[in-house]
Amino acid sequence: MKKSLNTAFLGLLALGALLAAPAAVRAQTFYVSSGSQTIDKVDSTGAVSLFATLPADSVPYGLAFDGSGNLYAADSNTDQISKITSGGVVSLFATLPGGSQPVGLAFDGSGNLYAADSLTDQISKITPGGVVSLFASLPGGSFPCGLAFDGSGNLYVADVGTSQISKITSGGDVSTFVPSFKSLGSSRSSLTAPRFSNPSTSMGRVCLALGAASYRLSSHSP
């Protein structure tokens, strides 16, 4: 059964894709997944235009750019990853195991793409050639969402189900980086808002979503 995805995370994931994009892309456009087959482009003047249309039944959520400016979209409905050139040409990049429901995407320094498989509580690794393998498994009920790498090659995962941030080494070892925000209550020595749940990530800085608002946990920025 598919899990419902909060639209607040959609915006944070799109922001993460933009921040990770090559400088030339950042300077010109924003790319936004509508959650209904299309990817929109917003230029520096705020004008919105259609950038690409994915296959029927697609529900794009996570976005990520590679070093060449190609955009990748995680399709949470078909369990596929689409590749979109700078000219808007769409092709199938990889197919994940059925029932994965990929949401967040992130590239490592070697050009491998990682997908947060929200329904299976796993992280998939996809080579530049489109070969899919299991990178790491998170505890049951994690519902991994946002992904971000630090400069040392560690992957950070926003676990929406547990309200935790997990850290995964390049070897696939999983540990808790930030414990449940729900348990922090109003004790927030280094936090910028008193209560948090449903974390998401963006460019190595941990962002937290509470309804439509987002916050940064600056003390844990790699």
Q: Average pLDDT per run of 10 along the chain, which is 222 residues long?
A: 44 46 53 75 81 89 88 92 94 95 91 94 96 95 85 86 88 88 48 42 36 30 34
- Output the pLDDT for position 202: 40
* Distance (Å) of CA 50 to CA 26, 42, 53, 130: 17, 9, 8, 26
CATH homologous superfamily of 7-220 equals: YVTN repeat-like/Quinoprotein amine dehydrogenase (2.130.10.10)
Taking the CB of residue 149, how many other CB atoms lie within 10 A of it? 21
Burial of 44 (0-12, 13-18, 19+ CB in 10 A): exposed
Going by C-alpha positions, the residue among 175, 172, 220, 174 that lies closest to residue 199 is 220
- Output the pLDDT for position 163: 80
Taking the CB of residue 108, how many other CB atoms lie within 10 A of it? 15
- Output the pLDDT for position 34: 59
Residue ranges of domains in the chain: 7-220
- Output the pLDDT for position 30: 63
Structure tokens at 172: 């696939």
- Output the pLDDT for position 150: 83
pTM of this prediction?
A: 0.75
